[in-house]
Amino acid sequence: MCGRTACTLAPDEVSRASVYRNRGGRRRQPRWRDGDADKYRPSYNKSPQSMSPVLLSGRHFDKDAAVDECVLTSMRWGLVPAWFKGKDPSEMQYSTNNCRSESILQKKSYKDPLIKGQRCVILADGFYEWKRQEKNKQPYFIYFPQSQEKTKAQDDPTTSSGNEDNSEAMYSKVQASPELTEEEDAQGEWTGWKLLTMAGVFDCWTPPGGGEALYTYSVITVNASPNLQSIHDRMPAILDGEEEVRRWLDFGKVKSLDALKLLESKNILTFHPVSSLVNNSRNNSPECLQPVGPNSKKEPKPTASSRMMASWLKSSAPLKRKEQDTCERKKDKERKPTGGLQGVSKKPRTTRRT
């Protein structure tokens, strides 16, 4: 199950964090579909019906584009089938926020877009899940370990899946490549948060009376991995690494039945408990992600993961980061090298992401 996510990166940061390799192994930075960057709003607490950043093949919008060319778009969470006859998507009598991988070919709402190759990757800092307890539910924030080497899961279900020391290794960087354009190289390496990549299907619905087409998606779920089973029995289908993302999106080369083989329970995520503030979707602040002790609003004894999270939350707001980043790049072009640290530009989020 996946009913709440967080994605706090500004639009340009999402693009820089989503650098990928095409079939030829060349590095590419996806561009936002025209106008869609303005539809997306960073949030610490995203619920269904909100707009989220989604990565997909550019051929869905341009038949002449290479099938392995990726683009970013904003889509509404909660799939509205193309064949839906109602005038308002809110009239739908069933939930399509998630779809089970086991039954995706049995339900028309999901089977039709899957067969058409309408596969997408939902991007997020991570997702929330609630663990049932005697008197209440304890929310957890679940995400990729923020180091280059995958963290091995441990048997203790009350802690994160990863080796805490590994998270202190800190933030692998997306290396610049000669294959990137000059504009992409100018933006520099991405040293931010490693975004979670969740498999999904999408569809396009047009109002019966005409109007703007609405793109919506559903998150595909699988059985929970061993380290998450104590929290919930389901989890989003995670695509681990560039190759899995590429194969999931490459509908021209990878047929639907082969793509479904990528949807497995993967024991690769880490997590920490968070405040019950996240229970209310109207709460949208850094406190939603702040590590706390289970069943408490107090911060626990610091660990490598919690220190990393605290550093992340202390950074400036997403939209302001974008302004600062743009300003810094302009200053870098104007600044003459003077040697030593004076010629080094400030990277505002190297202590926070990836």
d(CA 113, CA 224): 25
Q: Active site includes 2?
A: yes
d(CA 53, CA 21): 19
E strands within the chain?
5-7, 20-21, 27-28, 31-32, 43-46, 51-57, 70-77, 98-100, 119-124, 126-132, 137-143, 196-205, 214-223, 234-236, 270-273
d(CA 126, CA 84): 30
Q: 3-state class of 222 per DSSP?
A: strand
- The structure tokens listed for 280 are 């209310």
Q: Active site includes 129?
A: yes
Catalytic-role residue among 2, 7, 99, 120 = 2
Q: Phi and psi (nearest 5°) for 223?
A: -60, 145
3-state secondary structure 284-348: CCHHHCCECCCCCCCCCCCCHHHHHHHHHHHCCCHHHHHHHHHHHHHHHHHCCCCCHHHHCCCCC
d(CA 238, CA 28): 21
Whole-number Cα distances in Å, 261 to 13, 243, 319, 329: 30, 13, 38, 42
Dihedral sign of CA atoms 248, 252, 254, 258 in order:
positive
Tokens 């989003």 found at: 236
Catalytic-role residue among 13, 70, 120, 129 = 129
d(CA 132, CA 135): 8
Active-site residue list = 2, 129
